[in-house]
Amino acid sequence: MKDIIILAIETSCDETSVAIIKNGREILSNVIYTQIDIHKKFGGVVPEIASRKHIEKIDLIFAQSLEESGLNFKDLDAIAVTYGPGLVGALLVGMSYAKALAFGLGIPLIPVNHIDGHIAANYLAFPDLKPPYIALIVSGGHTHIIDVLDYGEYKVLGRTRDDAVGEAFDKVARTLGFPYPGGPYIDKAAKDGNKEAINFPRTYLEKGSFDFSFSGIKSSVLNYLNSMKMKGIEVNTNDVAASFQEAVVDVLIEKIISASLKMNHKEIIIAGGVAANSSLRKRLKEEAKIHHLDVFYPPLSLCTDNAAMIGAAAYYQFKKGIFANLDLNSVPNLKL
């Protein structure tokens, strides 16, 4: 069978990335330019700056990606692009670029849901992985437990009712004085802290619910820090980071394990930026083993935003003939 080569573009937030993927599973190139250092100064992503930086960089990233793959324009079978969820202006940069390429080369345009991409990151790391399985998506914007029935076919079992888990990590990190994005800093600080130092609340919601709520623990950390300040007691940042992380990971693990047992799946995948969290990775593996479940998570480089994962998801759409017209619009709050 002829190889299918897809060039994928991702610009939904603060990474400009272009990748070339063979048969949905093999990375020929995956060039990522991250704007984190620019947004750090503002404590979070500034949408207008993100769009401008994407415009400045995309040509270069595209050229580099094509060169690294060793391929030519004529080798490409389709152009894939993230069309949501994300920042509208940022999405539009990648989409305009993708449309121009698809039109110029006379090949199909594949519209990819960013969350679908995070899930598909695992196909790049594990060539034999196939649905069905349970997925836990944990990123800066999303916290979902999903029953993955087939490629691109999902049933959402639970989602956050307020903050996304990455958002909670970032907000707590900010109050602890860490730069944006704070998740990795909390992860690092927690390694030197006592996870039993402070008993932050675990919010499980109604019995049997796979939904999440992280606003309670976020407020609880803020209240703790304020009360310590008022009492003039010095706070051990590492202990706060470790105790916060432990509470969040407890809830994530309990829900994802019970979801897989309920749906009778033997395999769990985790995806999204927070899937890079070392405690989540380690503890989920341990807990899953007790229940005879297998856990898959992408390498760190494929956890945070990248175009390779978009190319992997796009391959299964290509096979089903799910293409977009050139009037495709961005959908900033696109659901799965």
Q: Which residues bind ligand KG4 (CB under 6 A)?
A: 13, 139-141, 166, 169-170, 181-184, 187, 272-274, 276-277, 304-305
Nearest-approach distance from CB 280 to ligand KG4, in angstroms:
7
Tokens at 197, concatenated: 């130092």
Burial state string for 258-284 with b = 16 or more CB within 10 A and e = fewer than 16: ebbeebebebbbbbbbbbbbebbbebb
**Contact partner at residue 184 from Zn ion, ligand KG4, none, CB < 5 to 8 Å by partner kind:** ligand KG4
Nearest-approach distance from CB 272 to ligand KG4, in angstroms:
4
**Contact partner at residue 111 from Zn ion, ligand KG4, none, CB < 5 to 8 Å by partner kind:** none
Tokens at 161, concatenated: 């009712």
Residue 196, class by beta-carbon neighbours within 10 Å (0-12 exposed, 13-18 middle, 19+ buried)? exposed
Which of these ranges, 89-97, 165-173, 222-230, 299-307, lies near Zn ion under the rule CB under 5 A?
Answer: 299-307
Q: Which is nearer to ligand KG4, 23 or 175 (CB)?
A: 175
Query: Site for Zn ion (CB under 5 A): which residue of 95, 305, 314, 324?
Result: 305
What is d(CA 251, CA 244) in angstroms, rounded to the nearest whole number?
11
Tell me, by CB under 5 A, how many residues bind Zn ion.
Answer: 2
Which of these ranges, 19-27, 155-163, 248-256, 298-306, lies near Zn ion under the rule CB under 5 A?
Answer: 298-306
**Contact partner at residue 276 from ligand KG4, Zn ion, none, CB < 5 to 8 Å by partner kind:** ligand KG4
Nearest-approach distance from CB 263 to ligand KG4, in angstroms:
24
User: What values do phi and psi take at 224, rounded to 5?
Assistant: -60, -45
Nearest-approach distance from CB 29 to Zn ion, in angstroms:
20
Nearest-approach distance from CB 192 to ligand KG4, in angstroms:
15
Distance between terminal CA atoms of the chain?
31
Q: Which is nearer to ligand KG4, 169 or 297 (CB)?
A: 169
Q: Which is nearer to ligand KG4, 66 or 95 (CB)?
A: 95
Q: Which is nearer to Zn ion, 15 or 267 (CB)?
A: 15
What is d(CA 38, CA 152) in angstroms, rounded to the nearest whole number?
34
Q: How many residues does the chain have?
A: 336
Q: Looking up tokens 């202006």, which residue turns up?
A: 89
**Contact partner at residue 158 from ligand KG4, Zn ion, none, CB < 5 to 8 Å by partner kind:** none
Nearest-approach distance from CB 11 to ligand KG4, in angstroms:
12
Where do runs of H (alpha helix) occur along the chain?
A: 36-40, 47-69, 88-105, 114-125, 165-175, 183-190, 215-231, 237-263, 278-290, 300-303, 308-320
Residue 82 in contact with Zn ion, rule: CB under 5 A: no
DSSP string of 51-117, one letter each residue: HHHHHHHHHHHHHHHHHHHT--GGG--EEEEEEESS-HHHHHHHHHHHHHHHHHHT--EEEEEHHHH
Kindly identify the residues of this chain, within the stretch 126-165, that bind Zn ion according to CB under 5 A: 139
Q: Which is nearer to ligand KG4, 178 or 318 (CB)?
A: 178
Q: Looking up tokens 């940022």, which residue turns up?
A: 90
Residue 279 in contact with Zn ion, rule: CB under 5 A: no
Question: Measuring CA to CA, which residue among 113, 73, 61, 108 is closest to residue 91?
Answer: 113
Beta strand pairing call for 15-22 and 26-34: antiparallel
Nearest-approach distance from CB 187 to ligand KG4, in angstroms:
4
Q: Which residues bind Zn ion (CB under 5 A)?
A: 139, 305
